[in-house]
Amino acid sequence: MYDVAIIGGGVVGCAIARELSRYHLRTVLLERLAEVGFGTTKTNSGIIHAGQQTTPGTLKGLLEVRGNAMFDQLQRELGFGFRRCGELVVAASAEELASLERMKADGEAKGVPGLEMWDAQRLRREEPNLSLHLVGALFAPSAGVINPYEFAFALAECAVQNGVELRVEQEVESIALRDGGGFRIHATVPSGPGAVQAGLGAVKAGPGEDSVAGVDVEARFIINAAGVHADKVAALVGADDFIIRPRRGEEYLLDRRLEGIVTRLIFPVPTPASKGILIIPTFDGTLMVGPTAHDQDDRFDVPTTTEGSEEVFATVRRLCPSLDARATIAEFAGLRAVSDTGDFIIGPSRVPGFFHVAGIQSPGLTASPAIAVHVVELVGRAGLPLVEHDQFNPHVAPPARFATQSHEVRQALVEADPRFGRLVCRCELVTEAEVHQAVDHGARTLDGVKFRTRAGMGRCQGGFCTTRVMQILSRRLGVPFHEVTKRGAGSWLVIPMAEDREAAMTEAGGMSAGDTTAGAGEEAPCSDA
């Protein structure tokens, strides 16, 4: 029996897992998808907010400012991509300027450091590519950009290294109250369309467990960090005190040659529904614009749309006229877990031992480390003994990145490990050693390698590296090439021709090579022209 089961391996669940791993506890982290951080986290805008934009007096407002302050240390410990580039909320009118003044006062009351009002002249000097119509801005130096998936991967890896059990491809199906306290969680492998078709074997279950029938996990406490599915998970124990309404956001990633058009995060003045559509100079040096904000009922389907693209570019061009939709190299969408309470829902539910960490929309990523500390404290108050582990290791080794090294360092890397001499992704200069490292650090899928190494993120979008990465994954996971997936069950990539050949041989029924009649009558591919 586990002390704690965390349901949901997004950035929040991963942060909680790492926080719990500081103590002498048996903790399990259950994730529905093939890897952690593959849901909302992967599609996050990647902003560490300064905190001045959130309504004062809310839980999210409190945890946001607290969370922001934790990132320097976290970055040192976990090595994810993070840079405090600062943010500008820009005003296009006198009214907007007035609301920025109010925002500044609110932010200072919450303890947001270094807020400054900039006039049009200062704004022009600092960000010369912004629209000339802008009349001023509120500058918040403590805001930053982050690679959110790297953060989640590192949190999970750190947690696992300190004893947390991570189980992926576990979809929670039922939760029962155990006699004598605690819960019994039944989880099964999520079935996606096509999973059976491609004969996927990539099922993750413990030894001796029948993965198809599902697994049972028993735990004294449950922390529900299931993101857009949190209300459904809560309903399994009758703790559905809230409703989650997914709010889709579309993001557009622009070509690297636009690097430097803006150097800080650029926000319009926010509305109650969202912080608006922004210009994001990502940690990796590309520009990203978005997100949109549209409520939807579907919790799985996350398309980008023509309307979304038009909305994004029309909006950001008002801030920065030189941005053009034609510079898009990739587009994606994600779902925010918006609760009907309007604030984060963190704490005990009406079912003793079952804790919610729900409705974590923006600024959830910023707040996530503070959320983790907060919720662990609450579970501790409810009876979980928090005895600190003296062996806790807060660090994970950051991956060696060949591309960003000097000639001399590169030489040393290749000498130490010849696999650094074998190029896998030519756009982002990723070597075979880095792909192996990614697998060592938990990558199980093409996307897992991509988001850890950047292989496949460049201009050719995987045209060159896909087969190379698939080969390495196949070897390392001990599965046939065709069982490697893009991102887990259902996302199969190829079908072996050998299979087809066997079928052909059976069909031919021992027909001799060169027989003119066999097969000719069936489904002749030639039409009569």
Partner 1 sequence: MTARQEQHYVCISCPIGCPLRLVHEGDQIIEVEGQECNRGAKYARQEFTDPRRTFSTTVPITGAVYGRLPVKLSAPVPRQAIPAAMAAIRLLSAEAPVRLGQVLLRDVAGVAGVDVVACRTMDRVMITPSDDPSSAT
Partner 2 sequence: MFGRMNRRYDVVVVGGGPAGLAAALGALDSGVSRVLVVEREPEAGGILRQCIHAGFGLHHFREELTGPEYAERFVTQVMDRDIDVAPHSYVTGLAVDSSGHRLVRVLSERGGLATVECRSVVLAMGCRERTRGAVRIPGTRPAGIFTAGLAQKLLNLDGYLPGRRAVILGSGDIGLIMARRLTLEGCKVEGVFELMPYSNGLTRNVVQCLDDYGIPLHLSTTVTRIHGRDRIEAVTVAPVDETGRPDAARAWDVPCDTLLLSIGLIPENELSESLGIALDVVTGGPKVDSTLATSLPGVFACGNVLHVHDLVDFVTEEALRAGRFAGEHARQIRRPRDAIALVPGANVRYCLPHTLSADRPHTVYMRAKTRMSPCILRVGNLLERRLRFVVPAEMIHLTIQPELLERFYEDRLQIDLLPVDGGGVP
In the complex, which residues of this chain contact partner 1 (CB under 8 A)? 418-419, 432, 436, 471-472, 475-476, 497-498, 500-501, 504-505, 508, 511, 513-520, 522-526, 529
What is the closest distance, in whole angstroms, from the C-beta atom of residue 471 to partner 2 in the complex?
Answer: 9
Binding site for partner 2 (CB under 8 A): 192-195, 253, 300-306, 308-309, 325, 328-332, 407, 410-411, 414-415, 418-419, 421-423, 426-427, 429, 459-464, 466-467, 481-482, 485-498, 500, 525-527, 529
Binding partner at 518 among partner 1, partner 2, none, C-beta below 5 to 8 Å by kind = partner 1
- Cβ atoms of 455 and 424 within 8 Å: the answer is yes
Closest to partner 1 by CB, 394 vs 496, is: 496
Identity of the residue, 344 or 464, whose beta carbon is nearer to partner 2 in the bound complex: 464
Interacting partner of 513 out of partner 1, partner 2, none (Cβ under 5 to 8 A depending on kind): partner 1
Taking residue 464's Cβ as centre, other Cβ atoms within 10 Å add up to 18
Q: Which does 302 bind (CB under 5 to 8 A by kind): partner 2, partner 1, none?
A: partner 2
How far is residue 225's CA from residue 223's CA, in Å, rounded to a whole number?
Answer: 6
Q: Fill in the DSSP letter of residue 492.
A: B
Question: Residue 281: CB partners within 8 Å, gap ≥ 6?
Answer: 85, 145, 259, 260, 262, 263, 264, 265, 287
> What does 485 interact with, of partner 1, partner 2, none (CB < 5 to 8 A by kind)?
partner 2
Partner in contact with 491, chosen from partner 2, partner 1, none, beta carbon below 5 to 8 Å by kind:
partner 2
Residues in the chain, how many?
Answer: 529
Q: Which does residue 22 touch among partner 1, partner 2, none (CB within 5 to 8 A, set by kind)?
A: none
CA angle 126, 127, 130 (to 5 degrees): 150
Task: Collect all residues with Cβ–Cβ distance below 8 Å to 372 and sequence separation of at least 6.
Answer: 12, 15, 16, 18, 19
- Judged by beta carbon, residue 253 or residue 262, the one nearer partner 2 is 253
Whole-number Å distance between alpha carbons of 520 and 515: 10
Q: Which residues contact 382 (CB under 8 A, 6 or more apart)?
A: 221, 348, 352, 353, 355
**Tokens 């959830």 label which residue?**
364
- Integer Cα distance of 397 and 449 in angstroms: 17
Answer whether 347's CB lies under 8 Å from 353's CB. Answer: no
d(CA 529, CA 527): 6
The interface partner of residue 495, options being partner 1, partner 2, none and the CB cut-off 5 to 8 Å by kind, is partner 2
Rounded distance, CA 39 to CA 337, Å?
Answer: 11
For partner 2, the closer CB: 43 or 52: 43
Nearest to 222 by CA among 238, 204, 202: 238
Contact 363, 54 (CB under 8 A): yes
- Residue number, 63 or 323, with CB nearest to partner 2: 323
Residue whose CB is less far from partner 1, 186 or 419: 419
CB of 103 to partner 1, least distance (A): 53
CA dihedral 54, 56, 62, 68 (to 10 degrees): 40
- DSSP SS3 for 451: helix
State the residue for tokens 């609301």.
99
Closer CB to partner 2, residue 191 or residue 341? 191
**Catalytic residue, candidates 24, 49, 229, 441:** 49
Please list, in sequence order, all residues whose beta carbon lies within 8 angstroms of the beta carbon of residue 295, skipping any fewer than 6 positions away.
245, 246, 247, 248, 338
Instruction: Tell me whether residue 363 or residue 458 sits nearer to partner 2 (CB atom).
Output: 458
CA angle, 114 then 118 then 120, to 5°: 165
Place of tokens 């040659």: 257
Residue 340 binding: pick among partner 2, partner 1, none (C-beta 5-8 Å cut-off by kind): none
Per the DSSP assignment, residues forming a β-bridge with 6 are 29, 223
Residues 6+ apart with CB under 8 A from 188: 170, 171, 173, 212, 213, 214, 215
Closer residue to partner 1, CB minimum distance, 476 or 486 = 476
Q: How far is the CB of 407 from partner 2 (least distance, A)?
A: 7
Closest to partner 1 by CB, 390 vs 522, is 522
Separation in Å, CA 230 to CA 61, 153, 338, 357 = 21, 21, 10, 8
Interacting residues of 315 by C-beta distance below 8 A, sequence separation 6+: 268, 276, 277
253 binds, among partner 1, partner 2, none (CB under 5 to 8 A by kind): partner 2
Residue 381 interface partner, choices partner 2, partner 1, none, CB cut-off 5-8 Å depending on type: none
CB of 422 to partner 1, least distance (A): 8
Q: How far apart are CA 381 and CA 331, in angstroms?
A: 44
- Write out the two tokens for 26: 């048996």
Q: Is 374 a catalytic residue?
A: no
Active site positions, annotated: 49
